[in-house]
Amino acid sequence: MSVLQRDPQDQVRVLDEDGTVVGEVPDIDDETLVDMYRNMRLARHFDTRAVSLQRQGRMGTYPPLSGQEGAQIGSAIALEEDDWMVPSYREHGAALLRGLPLKQTLLYWMGHEKGNEMPEGVNLFPPAVPIASQIPHATGAGWSFKLRGEEDKAVLCYFGDGATSEGDFHEGLNFAGVFDTPNVFFCNNNQWAISVPRERQTASETIAQKAAAYGIDGVQVDGMDPLAVYAVTKAALEKARNPGEGEGRPTLIEAVQYRFGAHTTADDPTVYRDDEEVEKWKAKDPIPRLEAFLRETGRLDDEKVEEIEAEIKQRVADAIEAAESDPRPEPSDMFDYAYDERTPEIQAQYEEFEALREKVGDEGFLRE
């Protein structure tokens, strides 16, 4: 039986919180398993440094990912070279694995338009900050592949639990179901849409079961178990490209997880959740969970862990240095990238901004 052919309320797991095998381990070679661990550690360290940069005034508002590494890396590893990834705004780890340099992610959150430039050959959409707006885009991309006969491609689209309350979620999944597009919709259910808890988001017992309304498959997975996430995403992507007889292409995956930090660095999570809840979820941390499994199976030891730690620290330090060495963008650049040409309203805003800038100087904008 396929891992997708199960009740959406039956959560898929491979490892328990201690890293003990409780399900079927997917067929992944040793090198890829260690790479999965390395990239999860890299994402966590990058996240810690990025938050620190923002607190020091060296970067703008930033959305932390800590706690969600298992879902991001486990799913991104399942992609094939010709597949496409459509992120929201928190998929820094997944985007890195897809080929986006850390420097680009840093530039984006530093307010530099160069952060939106995808390197040649990287099948990745730019970050989508508006909630759920990327879902119809992903469905459209999938439909275009089908219309052109490029059915060896699939589209993996990420969004949060809050996005499931938006009309774009309904429209994207409904269209995908009707036109049988090669899409995998990956819901990072991290329990909080900023300060709105999961139970105030929907009365549905699971988000995965919403798939039934669109006539597509839905599956719930332990999003802090990277092996389970990999298994489910791999199966969904393979079905999107090459469905069996009577199978539809699209799948909705609900990855149940938790963000350890704030929604963004502009958020104070202590206002709406307590430490006891956070600690309960930290006991499910995906990184020590995978590390325990790799150590137990002889794929990882202290020497290898130390080597990985040194490597990722240097890699992140180099990315920060490279990003901060780039000339800062002109403040007036913000008026140039919303439209091909400035509208009258944008032009009026630009002129007002430049007049104020001439009057008080750039330093005037930095005074409290």
Residues annotated catalytic, as ranges: 259, 263, 272
Among 77, 93, 98, 71, smallest CA distance to 286 is for: 71
CA angle 77, 50, 76 (to 5 degrees): 10
- Close Cβ partners of 108 (under 8 Å, ≥ 6 residues apart): 115, 116, 127
Distance CA 137, CA 139 (A): 5
**Residue 177 DSSP code:** H
One-character DSSP codes across 86-103: E--SS-HHHHHHHT--HH
Q: Dihedrals φ, ψ of 316, to 5°?
A: -70, -40
Distance CA 45, CA 47 (A): 5
**Residue 343 DSSP code:** -
Q: Look up residue 197 and give its two tokens.
A: 């808890």
What 3-state class would DSSP assign to 216?
coil
- Close Cβ partners of 39 (under 8 Å, ≥ 6 residues apart): 69, 73, 77, 93, 96, 97
Pairing state between β 251-256 and 217-222: parallel
Among 53, 45, 65, smallest CA distance to 257 is for: 65
Q: Look up residue 257 and give its two tokens.
A: 């997880």
H runs (alpha helix) in 148-212? 167-179
Distance CA 368, CA 353 (A): 18
